[in-house]
Homo-oligomer: A and B are copies of this chain.
């Protein structure tokens, strides 16, 4: 894997670059569509490619359980299995462990809006009576499959072996994702584990990566605490990773500082992936603070729920007014959907529960977000990032 920075953002950490993988080039910053179970939901690979996707991210936890990483290896790896010849990234499964464990059944996800300050009162999650599917130990995580209740145990070595079986171009070290409402002591313990697991992930990777085609990214954690984030960045940067992930379940207001603390420390010449983040305001924030890659299920999940991005903000296509709106979802948008279909047609498809609704909406939303990051990239090359941001948010709210 090669990473070349083409231009830096004056007065910020941002940069436009080119990342070369074994399966092709990614122009960074880039938004990475998520294909959790080896399929970007409701889209063929050709549709993903046509809307501007250069790389996709698949999910280690889900594919390990179904159809199984060994089956994917037998099939010739993910690229062949799912007919996607471009770059593929797999996450390590750490986030799924978090959502099945500490966050299970709670209103906590990738971004948690902490509106109620009492949520910030340290509420420890190691209440053993709470229902959860995963339990974190020092060496790894034991969990029950959400599919059939079968028991599994994932260690850093196992996560790396699974990812090598899946055969992605970029894989991630196994980590522990923590919630922003965890207390400092727990964050410290979790960070110790993440760092130990990073070393073990790297060792296993070096054993398995004989032909040197797979890149391993280490993950920086540390929650919302400045000293822990910096400690983590300093620790992870000294290991022989090809790039870095910035992990965590964020309180929205913490994200930019956390990203900045970390990227000021990480080496400039290696790519950085902000895991699981993808709303417009977060993309601008991330790029400004030196992020090169983003992934998020939001564009496709929103699409399936009828929430569509437009230059003026998000709309819900189920709103009555769209029933007779014969204009495109987003006038002037260059996606496949907008010039060919009206809001009225999409409103009809959603009401009729037609599967094409999800396809057309996903194409639009992914195009919108991918193209937004492309335009942000271009603004760095053109030296007008801040003007572009201001212009974008004049309409988008």
Q: Report A's interface with B, CB cutoff 8 A.
A: 37-39, 41-44, 62, 66-67, 71, 74-76, 81-83, 323-324, 326, 340-342, 344-345, 347-349, 351-352, 354-356, 358-360
Residue of B nearest to A344 (CB): B75
Q: Contact between A359 and B351 (Cβ–Cβ < 8 Å)?
A: no
Copies of chain A in the complex: 2
Known A37-B348, A37-B349, A42-B356; further 6 A-B contacts with Cβ < 8 A:
A38-B348, A41-B354, A41-B355, A71-B344, A76-B326, A355-B358
Among A323, A352, A356, find the residue whose CB has the most chain B CB atoms closer than 10 A.
Answer: A356
Looking at the complex, which one of B39, B324, B360 makes contact with A354 (CB distance below 8 Å)? B39
A169 → chain B, closest Cβ, in Å? Answer: 19
Contacting pair B359 A66 (CB below 8 A): no
Q: Please, how many angstroms separate the alpha-carbon atoms of A342 and B81 in the complex?
A: 7
Q: Are A345 and B71 in contact (CB under 8 A)?
A: no
Whether A67 and B344, one on each chain, are in contact in the complex, defined by CB atoms closer than 8 angstroms, is yes
A37→B42 CA distance, assembly (Å): 19
A67 to B324, CA, bound (A): 9
Chain B residues contacting A355 (CB-CB under 8 Å) are 41-42, 355, 358-359
Chain B residues near A351: list those with CB within 8 A.
Answer: 66-67
Residues of B within 8 A of A354 (CB): 37, 39, 41
24 residue pairs A–B, Cβ–Cβ below 8 Å: A37-B352, A37-B354, A38-B345, A38-B348, A39-B349, A39-B352, A39-B356, A41-B355, A43-B356, A44-B356, A44-B360, A66-B348, A66-B351, A66-B352, A67-B323, A67-B347, A71-B324, A71-B344, A74-B326, A75-B342, A75-B344, A81-B344, A81-B345, A355-B359
How long is the Cα–Cα vector from A314 to B41 in the complex, in angstroms?
A: 26
Is A41 a contact of B356 with CB atoms below 8 Å? yes
Give the CA-CA distance A356 to B358 in the complex, in Å: 11
Question: Which residues of chain B are within 8 angstroms of A358 by Cβ–Cβ distance?
Answer: 355
Cβ–Cβ contact B75 & A359, under 8 A = no
The CA of A351 and the CA of B347, in the complex, are separated in Å by 29
Q: Are A348 and B41 in contact (CB under 8 A)?
A: no
**Is A75 a contact partner of B37 (Cβ separation < 8 A)?**
no
Q: Of all chain B residues, which has the CB nearest A358? A: B355
A41 vs B355: C-alpha distance in the bound complex, in angstroms? 6
Are the CB atoms of B356 and A83 closer together than 8 Å? no
CB <8 Å contact, A341 and B83:
yes
A44 pairs with B324, CB closer than 8 A: no
A332 to B39, CA, bound (A): 24
CB A396 to nearest CB in B, in angstroms, measures: 27
Give min CB distance, A361 to chain B, whole Å: 12
Task: For the complex, give the distance between the alpha carbons of A355 and B359 in Å.
Answer: 9
Cβ distance A131 to chain B, nearest Cβ, rounded Å: 24
With a cutoff of 8 Å between Cβ atoms, the chain B residues found around residue A41 in the complex are: 354-356
Closest residue of B by beta carbon distance from A38: B348
CA distance A358 to B75 in the complex (A): 21
Residues of B contacting A39 in the complex (Cβ-Cβ under 8 angstroms): 349, 352, 354, 356
